[in-house]
Amino acid sequence: MKRLDEIPQTKLARVSKFMKMGSQVGMNYAKYYGKRLFQDEEEAREQLHEANAKDLYDGLSELKGSALKMLQMMSMDQHMLPEAYVEQFSLAQFSVPPLSAPLVRLTIKKNLGKYPEEIFDHFEAESSFAASIGQVHRAQKGEQTFAVKVQYPGVAASIESDLKLVKPIAMRMFHIKKGDADHIFREVEAKLLEETDYNIEREQGTKAAVDTAVIPNVRFPKYFPEYSCEKVLTMEWMEGQHLSEFYKQNEDKSRAHALSQTLWDFFLYQLFFLKKVHADPHPGNFLVNAQQELVALDFGCMKAIPEDFHRPYIALLTPSSLDNEAYFCSLLQDLGVYLPTDTDKERGFITKLFHELLSVLTLPFQGKNFDFGDNRYFEQLGNIATALTQNKELQQMNGARGSEHFIYINRTLLGLYNLLHNLDGGAIEVLHFQQYLPRAND
C-alpha cells in the first residue's frame, strides 16, 4: 500500500485536490454518455459508479480528515448507495493509505516531546489500522502492549475549509436553499472538531466504560494519559477480529445472535437511558475477542441528546405514536420538522411523508422481536430513501427540516441496523435492554 510523506494542509492545496477530483468525475460522466451508445445502459452505469467511487476514494484518502470522514459516514448507508460506492467507501473505516514511518515519528515527537523509541521499548513503524482522522500503531513497554493512535497533521485546521467546499455540493444534491441548513452544518463541524481532540475521546471512552458497565459481554480499552495528548492517544491493545471480518467468517448462528443482542442492548441502553450515544457504529470500531465479547473502540464521536429532543424522538419509537395523528403531529412540531412558512397543504404533505418514512424506520420497535437479517426490511429502507430523493414536490419545498440532532441520532440508528443485518444473528429481543435500566426504588 502507498505510504504518504505529506498531507495537503493549505487551503489552496486542498482546493486544487477537490478540483482535480471534480474534473475526473466529469470525465467519467463523459465516458458514460459515450458508452451508452454502444453497450447496455445498466452495465455502463455500473462502470460509472465504479470509476467515480474509486476516484473519489483515492483523492479523499490523500486529503484525510473531514473529507474522508464523510466517505466513512456514507459507507454506513450500504442499503441506500450503489454497491460500488459502499465497497470503496467502506475502506475509509480502517484501511486507507497510512502516513510514512518518518512522518509518524516526527508527529509523535512534536506532540509528546519525545520520539516513540524514547517512550516505548518497541514501536511498530508500520500502522496496524489507518482510518480517516488517524492511524494506529502497536507498541510495547514492559509487559504492557499499547495501541497508539496518531492523528494526521492538519486535520483539525482543514475541517472548516473542507466543509465549505462540500457544502455547495450537498445543497445542490438535497435541493436546500442558502441558509436553510446552516444549523446542520454547524452540528457536523462541531462534532468533527471534537473528534480531532483525543483528550475528549479519552474522557468519553473512560466514562462510557463506567456508564455501560451494567451491559454484560462488552469490553473497553484502558487509556494511558501519560502517553496521550490532543493529537496522540495511547490505550490498551485489544485483541480480536473487526466485526466486518467476523461476519464474513463466522458460521455459528448462536455466536452471531449473542453479539447482535449485546450490540442492541449496548446502543439502546445509551439511547434510552444515558441520553448520550456512541454515534459512529461502523465495523471498524468494534472487535470480537476470543471470549466472544464485544470490544468497543473509538469514542471520539459521542452524541449527547438534549431533553427537548430526546423526549419526542423516543416517543416516535413507541408504536402507538404512529396511530394517533394529533400526537404524531405534535411530536413533529417539537422536533422542528414543520417550518413556520408551511401552508396547510405543505404541512399535510410533510405529515404524510414523515409518517411513511417513520413507519419503516421504526418498524424494529413495533414488536417484541425483530430479525435484522431479513433482506426485505432493508429493501423497504432503500425504496423509501430512493422515493425521497426523487420526490419533486419535496425538492420544490426547498427546506432543511428537523432538528440538527437528527443527523447523528439517525446515523447511529441506521448504522446499528446495518451492523445487525451483516451479523445476521436471527431475531433479537427488542426490549431486552430494559432489564439493565435502574428501577425507581433502587
Q: Which residues make Cβ contacts (< 8 Å) with residue 86, sequence separation at least 6?
A: 75, 78
145 CB-contact burial (10 Å; exposed 0-12 / middle 13-18 / buried 19+): middle
Q: What is the pLDDT of residue 370?
A: 97
Q: What is the pLDDT of residue 12?
A: 59
Q: Could you tell me what percentage of the chain is helix, strand and coil, using 3-state DSSP and rounding each to the nearest 5?
A: 60, 10, 30
Q: What is the pLDDT of residue 94?
A: 47
Q: What is the pLDDT of residue 44?
A: 65
Q: How far is CA 331 from CA 128, 317, 358, 399, in A?
A: 46, 11, 12, 19
Q: What is the pLDDT of residue 303?
A: 95
Q: What is the pLDDT of residue 36?
A: 58
Q: What is the pLDDT of residue 351?
A: 94
Q: What is the dihedral of CA 345, 347, 351, 354, to 10 degrees?
A: 110
User: Which residue stretches of 297-374 are H helix?
Assistant: 307-316, 325-334, 344-361
d(CA 317, CA 179): 30
Q: What is the pLDDT of residue 129?
A: 83
User: Residue ranges per domain, the chain?
Assistant: 11-93, 241-442
Closest C-alpha to 151, from 102, 191, 103: 103
d(CA 426, CA 250): 14
* pLDDT mean for each 10 residues of the chain (442 residues): 54 61 62 60 65 64 57 49 49 58 92 97 90 88 97 80 66 55 78 91 97 97 97 96 91 95 98 96 91 94 96 92 94 92 90 92 95 92 75 66 87 92 95 90 52
For residue 222, what is the DSSP state?
Answer: P
Dmax (CA) for the chain in angstroms is 73
